[in-house]
Amino acid sequence: MLKVDNVTKYYGENLAVDNLSFEVNNGEIFGLLGVNGAGKTTTFRMIIGLLEMSSGSITLDDQPINYSNTNQIGFLTEERSLLTKLTVKEQVIMYGILKGMKEKEILEKLDYWLERFHIKEYRERKIKELSKGNQQKIQFITAIINEPKLLILDEPFTGLDPINVALFVEVMKEFKEKGSIIIFSSHRMEHVEMFCDNLVILVKGKSVLQGSIKEIKKEYRKKNIHIIGDVKTEDLKNIKGVVEVEENAMEIIVKIESEKYIDDVFEVVKNSKNIIKFMVEDPSLNEIFLNKVGEVYED
């Protein structure tokens, strides 16, 4: 288990991470979400020991993270850190050896992953000759070459097309199945909703929402009602508990404070003509994220 306990980081006067705590179990995918500058990269750097915390503690299976367990960690950095004059093979061998692996094992794994990522023809090519997306795949391979127990992925999907996002997610799920702890950052909520077990949303270094997607949606309480029919939006806006009414080419979306106002909306809708849809939905994670981030910035 990875345990981040009351971690705070100051850069001089600037508070980058503010008393952050979370736990990630073996076989779990955890999302660290936040806008630019929220403190995601700083948190990752503290986890792998590249940055000292101002206070707090971080442990992997109850042990502090240091040279004794660093071989169990894989890290994909946000700023691309490949040595672009090296060939793919040279680069991956270098990373594997740093993680205590033997060259024969590295090459076997490299060939397997190049095949999986459909780039085996690039094995002997210089990194700088590869497209950005393919360089990203090499970064990912270097992060997983040692079959890490703790896999940290800082913005892994940047610059990837949807097919390759799906491929990365497939591999992340395989590592999850094998019991690895996977922690990744993103500001793209649609990625997160698909496969993340638990998450934390950071705003200005502080956790503003934490838990499973289900719990987060439950705690958020607001609901969206999707309506198709001849309903006057003015009538909907006047209902107590209605926060907002949006209308697009397809439907009307009524945002309500909590589910206790569903009946009140239904009372207005049921007397209208041509109703072919009345559907209550949880808001998307993206909507919750924007709302939470907005609340903090308005304070």
Residue from the set 20, 28, 42, 254 that interacts with ligand ATP by CB under 6 A: 42
Q: Does 34 participate in binding ligand ATP (rule CB under 6 A)?
A: yes
Helix (H, G, I), strand (E, B) or coil at 25: coil
Q: Are 39 and 59 in contact (CB under 8 A)?
A: no
Q: Does 16 participate in binding ligand ATP (rule CB under 6 A)?
A: yes
SS3 content of the chain, % helix, strand, coil (to 5): 40, 30, 30
Strand partners, 32: 185, 200
Q: Which span sits near ligand ATP by CB under 6 A: 35-43, 64-72, 122-130, 266-274?
A: 35-43
Q: Among positive and negative, which fits the CA dihedral 172, 170, 153, 40?
A: negative
Distance of CA 40 to the CA centre of its chain: 10
Q: Which span sits near ligand ATP by CB under 6 A: 29-37, 106-114, 137-145, 175-183?
A: 29-37
Q: Does 297 participate in binding ligand ATP (rule CB under 6 A)?
A: no
Nearer to ligand ATP, 11 or 297 (CB): 11
* Total number of residues that touch ligand ATP (CB under 6 A): 12
Q: Does 156 participate in binding ligand ATP (rule CB under 6 A)?
A: no
Residue from the set 18, 78, 147, 197 that interacts with ligand ATP by CB under 6 A: 78
Alpha-carbon dihedral of residues 86, 88, 90, 94, nearest 10 degrees? 100
Q: Does 11 participate in binding ligand ATP (rule CB under 6 A)?
A: yes
Q: Which span sits near ligand ATP by CB under 6 A: 18-26, 36-44, 91-99, 173-181?
A: 36-44
Nearer to ligand ATP, 92 or 201 (CB): 201
Q: What is the length of the chain?
A: 299
Q: Which span sits near ligand ATP by CB under 6 A: 32-40, 133-141, 215-223, 274-282?
A: 32-40
Q: Are 60 and 72 in contact (CB under 8 A)?
A: yes
Report strand pairing: 73-76 vs 28-34: unpaired
Q: Does 46 participate in binding ligand ATP (rule CB under 6 A)?
A: no
Closest by Cα among 96, 185, 197 to 147: 96
Q: Does 4 participate in binding ligand ATP (rule CB under 6 A)?
A: no
Report the interface residues with ligand ATP, using CB under 6 A.
Answer: 11, 14, 16, 34, 36-42, 78
